[in-house]
Amino acid sequence: MLKQQDKASKPSGNCSKKYLYGPVATVFNSAKTGTWRLSMPVFDQESCTRCGSCAKFCPLDIITVPKDKSKPVTVDLDYCKGCGVCVDVCPKNCIKLESEQRGGE
C-alpha cells in the first residue's frame, strides 16, 4: 500500500499538486463530546515527568503539557473522547481512565 501511495503521490511533469489515493486522513476535526463519553483521563501530577508522549499521540491534540512542574497537565474535556491512547503511551503509567459518573442517568 505504501508503494502505491508513493507512486501515486509523486507529481508528474510541471504539476506541483500532490495527490493521495485511498483512505488518507490529513486533518482531524474535534467535535464536542457531549454526554456520550464513558471515561475520562485523570493524571497523577506528582509522578508525571512531563515527557509529552500523551500530547504527542493524542489523536485530537487536546492535551497540554507545560514544562514547568508547578503547572498541571490539562485535558480539554469538552473534546476528549475517552479513547485511552494517552494511557497506553504514558511511560510512567501516571494516567488512568476513570469512569465518568453522571447523576440521575
CA distances, 51 to each of 69, 95, 104 (Å): 11, 13, 38
pLDDT at 11 over 80: no
C-beta separation of 60 from 30 below 8 A = yes
Distance between CA atoms of residues 65 and 56, nearest Å: 10
| 79 within domain boundaries | yes
Predicted pLDDT of residue 54: 95
Predicted pLDDT of residue 46: 92
Domain extent for 93: 33-105
pLDDT at 5 over 80: no
Predicted pLDDT of residue 38: 87
Predicted pLDDT of residue 105: 46
Please tell me the total count of domains within the chain: 1
Q: What proportion of the chain, given as a percentage, has pLDDT over 90?
A: 46
Any idea what the CATH number is for the domain that residue 64 is in? 3.30.70.20
Q: What's the average model confidence in pLDDT over 21-48?
A: 78
44-69 pLDDT tens trace: 999 999 999 999 999 989 999 998 88
- The average confidence (pLDDT) of the chain is 80
